[in-house]
A and B are shown apart, each in its own frame.
Chain A
């Protein structure tokens, strides 16, 4: 049996600078769940197909299951937990998923919402077809995709001041 290799990883998670000794064999999903209890990061397919483990790294979406924990060194990582307000209030995009019935079992939801955050923070207006493509790295087996698209589209239009309700 060979010796286990470790590496010290220093990064920012949801705005907080942290450091942790990680096993070089760990995925970022392993690190976020086991070392930081960020359980919104789901273990789904674990081969980068379903998007349930999606997180933002330096502003771009990555499936954390196929991203090594050691690569997180020096990076700025954001998970769904980072969207909550100081007293646990839901952000607008999370509330939109509730309002549009875009959540059933909830397993795909954190991944979808983090991709939606990247879309929303671009400040751009996308067509429905463009949103479909941007969200195509996620699988949902419950509600289907229409309500999810509605939630993302409405939040986008609200933030752009183009939807008043």
Chain B
């Protein structure tokens, strides 16, 4: 038995919003792979919960008429990885969420939960930030769309207002078209582990594959929330595809990050990872884009 004070099951998105307004102390329960564990640990013991797990309308990946990729907030990691839309247009996201936990966790864990818990190590976080994803939030008063970079406020805190739930992640066409990306999760184990550092890079190359038209880079665990590395991007944008560019890109990333020492790794080791993972992730993204290094 879980130590749950009360549990309310939402029957629709609007019902979920009403339940959250009626029970302001309640936590939203999506797949539960964070919330239920925190109840077991005691951190959330005695919690009041609003379960949205039954809202099947929040599941699935779809391509909208304007080319926006829409990922329902309750879509599980494994369904994201297996989605043909994801595989074709933003394969790196499918690869990144395929590194979360283990197979059973990827069947229960949702992208909505992964973003709303505001954790820097979330394997989806850095790739979504790198692709300028937009978070769709629905409340009693309507729908808000927030760029994911603004959605993350601080460690464990996101821009969710009372009575709101996340209903989708949106990736506009201009944010993914022509880009190929690569994600590297550095962790002690290949399964059931949390990233010591996660790095997601993507590039758009010129037609002759000799110039980087646009490079984007984001990290998990290089600061309190998933973050972009604008200095690194500036060092690569418009530059020729060559080892010197990759090196300048990787070194510049160090100006953008602010990792800390934790029991998993020291700050110094994380800084080493920031540079080295940027180098490897960009190299791989260039290769996937048809460039030669």
Interface residues of A (CB under 8 A from B): 2, 5, 7, 23-27, 30, 46-49, 51, 54, 60-63, 66-68, 70-71, 115, 133-138
A66 touches B1 (CB 8 A): no
Known: A47-B41, A68-B53. 20 other contacts (CB 8 A): A2-B5, A26-B2, A27-B1, A30-B1, A46-B40, A47-B40, A48-B101, A49-B192, A60-B78, A61-B104, A62-B104, A63-B104, A63-B105, A63-B108, A68-B7, A71-B51, A133-B103, A133-B190, A137-B103, A137-B192
26 contacts between A and B (CB under 8 A): A5-B6, A25-B7, A26-B2, A27-B1, A27-B36, A47-B37, A48-B36, A51-B102, A54-B104, A61-B107, A62-B107, A62-B108, A63-B104, A63-B105, A66-B33, A66-B36, A68-B7, A68-B36, A68-B53, A70-B7, A70-B51, A71-B53, A133-B103, A133-B190, A136-B190, A137-B101
Closest chain-A Cβ to B4's Cβ sits at a distance in Å of: 5
Closest chain-A Cβ to B30's Cβ sits at a distance in Å of: 11
Given A5-B7, A25-B7, A27-B2, CB of A61 within 8 Å of CB of B103? yes
Contact with A along B1-36 (1 / 0, CB 8 A): 111111101000000000000000000000011001
When distances are taken between beta carbons in the complex, the residues of chain B under 8 Å from A48 are 33, 36-37, 101, 104-105, 108
- When C-beta atoms are compared, the residue in chain A nearest to B32 turns out to be A66
When distances are taken between beta carbons in the complex, the residues of chain B under 8 Å from A49 are 192
Contact with A along B91-133 (1 / 0, CB 8 A): 0000000000111110110000000000000000000000000
Closest chain-B Cβ to A140's Cβ sits at a distance in Å of: 13
When distances are taken between beta carbons in the complex, the residues of chain B under 8 Å from A23 are 1
Q: In the complex the two chains form, what is the Cα distance from A60 to B40 in whole Å?
A: 24
Q: In the complex the two chains form, what is the Cα distance from A63 to B1 in whole Å?
A: 15
Q: In the complex the two chains form, what is the Cα distance from A154 to B7 in whole Å?
A: 45
- The reply on B293 being an interface residue by CB < 8 A is no
Given A25-B2, A48-B33, A68-B32, CB of A133 within 8 Å of CB of B104? no
